Structure 1
Amino acid sequence: MSLNRVSLTVLAVAAGLFAGRALADDQAPHWSYEGHGGPAEWGQLSPNFEACGIGKDQSPVDIRSALPARLPPIKISYRAQPLALLNNGHTIQVNQAPGNFITFEGERYDLIQYHFHTPSEHTINGKAAPLEVHLVHKGAESGKLTVLGVTLVPGKANPLIGAVWAAAPAEAGPVKEVPGVRLDPAALLPAKRAYYRYEGSLTTPPCSEVVHWVVFKQSITASQAQIDAFAKLFPNNARPPQPINRRFILESQPTK
């Protein structure tokens, strides 16, 4: 695929993510996480989903045998945003107005949405966490995506998650704006920012291989009741780990 076609593909994927769909096409075939239309069949459901079946840089992955590397810190610039959320039939997603961004490997990436998976899609040495949040950013220059992955484990309740769950629609539907509620996505980030880094894909169709993945090593907490509440809506919305193939997983090192 040419560079121009890659750029157009990335922009289309990002537009679809911001609108709350894996594809911008309203006629995209139905897919699911179990049974007919499940992950093993995604690549056969549409020519647009071909990467799900034949891609070599797919996500998520099982993180093990990471290579120590001098990776730069991620500069995070978040502030509270009005709450606009969506049940898209596959997850609860919170859309973001312009203004929040990260600086990653010399480029600005704007936060466009964050959403949740249970159990976690990324595993560490074969072990999944009960929940994972993905914060999806689009490159201001390249148009590529950088996704921050954070795993959640049982513990102290997370106030942001409590506010999202309280307003989240139980059924799939249009974006719901919640007047008077502003949430800072920094509440979804761990205190320690060491991370794993690899090149991968979207974890939902069309599985486009356009994602810089950053998975923080430290988990954050949510109460067991908060974890159970999401699992009640989505008992399993996690794609199984994919083969690492020829890729490397890098692990940031403490700064001296």
Structure 2
Amino acid sequence: MPRKISAFLLSACALLAPIGVQAAGGKAHWGYSGHEGPEHWAELSPGNAACAGTSQSPIDIISAAAVAAGGSTPEVDWHGFAPSVVNNGHTIQVNTGGHGGSLVAGSRRYDLLQFHFHHLSEHTIDGKHAPLEVHFVHKSDYGDLFVIGVMIEEGDANPVLEAVFEHIPEAGHTHEATHEIDPADLLPGDHAAFRYRGSLTTPPCSEIVTWHVMEGAVTASKSQIEAFSSLYSDNFRPVQPANNRMVVISD
């Protein structure tokens, strides 16, 4: 049976390329520091103009200010799959190859394309970073993006992270795993979440994303966190101005 999580859908136009793609086909190279860092993304290419927009992500989520509201309940129906683990030069990304399952919100179905990691977390909750944040990127046939963010705190080891991080390839390479992982092992048991309208957190920063950031967290061992942070110690965009955007909390 599909796993139900509380969330609300805001329609948005989607970016067809995966989040976090390196410079290719004439796109300007970007990074997380120096003259290619986040404060300069909008200047690197005309295509990055949205990086200076007013509905950018991530944001600091103030839990006490979140508005409680009812709405539809999307259903997550993820499947186990043998992952393609990609080191794309900005993060470690796990591609589903079309076998990861889907999310249904209202009458629309969103396929799980990939998930990837940031250290430290990109979103903060009440001003606090988590050591890691994982983003699950979904897209519908209409091009809408629905991204679930989950905080990862230090604690018990996680089986999904063990399977992914023990076979991290060199930058620019892919490792095709033979054993299946279950992405649901990276969802907290409590499905309360924050929803707001925002953007991609990497260039071109298109303001097209419905963010669903889980209030609860999952855990990873200290060695698992270090396995990622030893490669990407600061691959997070700083929080952006909320600019009076409404943040809704669901139970």
Q: TM-score, normalised by structure 1?
A: 0.88
1:152 aligns with 2:152: yes
CA contact (8 A) 2:22 2:89 kept: no
Give 1:1-256 correspondences, 5 Å limit. 10=14, 13-14=15-16, 16-17=17-18, 21=21, 25-53=24-52, 55-64=53-62, 65-99=65-99, 100-140=101-141, 142-169=142-169, 171-178=170-177, 180-253=178-251
Match of 1:229, SS state, is helix
Cα distance in 2 for partners of 1:102, 1:135 equals 11
Cα distance in 2 for partners of 1:27, 1:213 equals 29
Gaps spanning 5+ residues in structure 2: where? Answer: 1-11
**What amino acid does structure 2 have at the position aligned with 1:66?**
A
Deviation of 1:106 (Å): 3.2
Match of 2:21, SS state, is coil
Of Structure 1 and Structure 2, which has the larger fraction of its residues in helix? Answer: 1
Cα distance in 2 for partners of 1:192, 1:86 equals 29
CA contact (8 A) 2:96 2:114 kept: yes
Cα distance in 1 for partners of 2:171, 2:58 equals 24
**What amino acid does structure 1 have at the position aligned with 2:73?**
P
Match of 1:227, SS state, is helix
| Alignment-derived partner of residue 3 in structure 1 | none
Cα distance in 2 for partners of 1:85, 1:50 equals 30
| Alignment-derived partner of residue 8 in structure 2 | none
Q: TM-score, normalised by structure 2?
A: 0.90
Cα distance in 1 for partners of 2:85, 2:123 equals 24
Cα distance in 2 for partners of 1:105, 1:247 equals 23
Match of 1:219, SS state, is strand
Cα distance in 2 for partners of 1:105, 1:60 equals 25
CA contact (8 A) 2:22 2:29 kept: no
Deviation of 1:73 (Å): 2.8
Aligned pair count reads: 237
Gaps spanning 5+ residues in structure 1: where? Answer: 1-5
Alignment RMSD (CA, Å) = 1.6
